[in-house]
Copies of this chain bind each other. A is one copy, B any other.
Amino acid sequence: TMEFKIIEEIWKIFKRDPKELLGIDDSVAVKLFGKENILVMNVDTFDETTDWLPGLSFYDVGWKSTISSLSDVVVKGGKPLGCLVSLGIPNTLSTESIREFYLGVRDVCKEHGLRLWGGDLNESKVFYASVVSVGLAKKVIPRNGAKPGDVVFSTGLFSINSLAYKILLNGLSPPDRFNIDHVYRPKIPTFQKWSNFLSYITSSIDSSDGLALSLNLLAKASKVKIVIDEELVLDPFFKEICEKIGLDPLRLALYEGGEEYTFLFTVHNEYEKNVLKEAEAVDLEVYKIGYVDQGEGVWVKRREGKIEKVHERGWIQGERWGL
């Protein structure tokens, strides 16, 4: 995609910092000094041009921008410290809307022990919010550490979001008992809970760009094959609704979701039970969804036993650009 092409161009111009520990498409993790002091940072920008969803409030935008930035820090093993928020503010925007935005930021900060440190405000023709999250880690979890034999886990099932997008973007009304809030105010594990798993984890990524793409990024970075199981990966309620209205839940979950911020991670198989026990002890949803094998690409075992390829696509910035 175009985003990847631009990123490639950029890294022809710059040399990588030798103190940087992760890949160019991962979060930023920089060894500061001493043995276990790694600065983990991530920036994520919400831009109304492409990211606005029907029904989204300014509170939600504040929430979502902060989660999407923080998610990459936490999933890599960074303990949240603080954030900087930059806003582009059209002159039609009320101070009250800006206040609501910051209330959303604040509530995420409160839950995750993140501090607002600063930022900047800019007059602009469009609304955008760029959140930089900063954390510290003793050890960072890379994308490229998955090994054949590992078990693939996730902190949630997929993908209520894919259905929610279909509903929202087509102006439909949600079915009974269908809670669309997760799209507006996604949740991620706190570092306090997540830190209990760090010693077991060989690789990790959040599913911000959709399940198919995120798993492919993990498999490619680790030079392994990932096989997930249709029976294990789908949210049962989501599956039930899809079947009722005649949509293919697997296709939807793989290619049309995104921004779930569910953590996907791999663990050496001898620790599988430890992970499940720990999950129960700290009350964190953790699901085994597949395994890692020698080879390449991502594959899904269908209900009837057939194994199909999961393509490397999903929602990427720039796919819709006219560049």
Contacts and interface: CB of A to CB of B under 8 A. Distances in A.
A86 interface: yes
B30 A123 contact: no
Contact of A30 (B30, B81, B92, B122): B81
B321 A43 contact: no
Interface residues of A, number: 68
Contact of A124 (B10, B117, B128, B132): B128
Contacts of A118: 24, 27-28, 41-43
A317 to B, nearest CB: 6
Contacts of A37: 32-33
Contacts of A88: 45, 47, 49, 88, 126, 128
Please give the count of copies of this chain that the complex contains.
2
B84 A121 contact: no
A22 to B, nearest CB: 9
Interface in A94-141: 94-95, 98-99, 102-103, 106, 109, 115-126, 128, 130, 132, 134, 136
Interface stretch (A1-9, A145-153, A288-296): A1-9
A130 B130 CA distance: 8
A320 interface: yes
Interface stretch (A13-21, A182-190, A195-203, A239-247): A13-21
B91 A20 contact: no
Nearest to A118: B28
B115 A20 contact: yes
Contacts of A91: 321-323
Contact of A119 (B43, B102, B124): B43
Interface of A: 3, 5-7, 9-10, 13-14, 16-17, 19-20, 24, 27-28, 30, 32-33, 37, 39, 41-45, 47, 49-50, 81-82, 84, 86, 88-89, 91-95, 98-99, 102-103, 106, 109, 115-126, 128, 130, 132, 134, 136, 317-318, 320-323
Given A6-B98, A32-B37, 10 more contacts: A14-B106, A16-B115, A20-B115, A27-B118, A28-B117, A39-B39, A43-B119, A47-B124, A88-B128, A122-B128
27 contacts: A7-B121, A10-B102, A13-B102, A13-B106, A16-B115, A17-B117, A24-B118, A28-B84, A28-B117, A32-B32, A39-B39, A43-B84, A43-B118, A45-B122, A45-B130, A47-B88, A50-B122, A86-B86, A88-B128, A89-B321, A94-B323, A122-B128, A122-B317, A126-B126, A128-B128, A130-B130, A132-B132
Enumerate the 8 nearest inter-chain pairs by beta-carbon distance, A residue then B residue, closest first: A17-B115, A91-B322, A28-B117, A28-B118, A14-B116, A49-B124, A47-B122, A45-B122
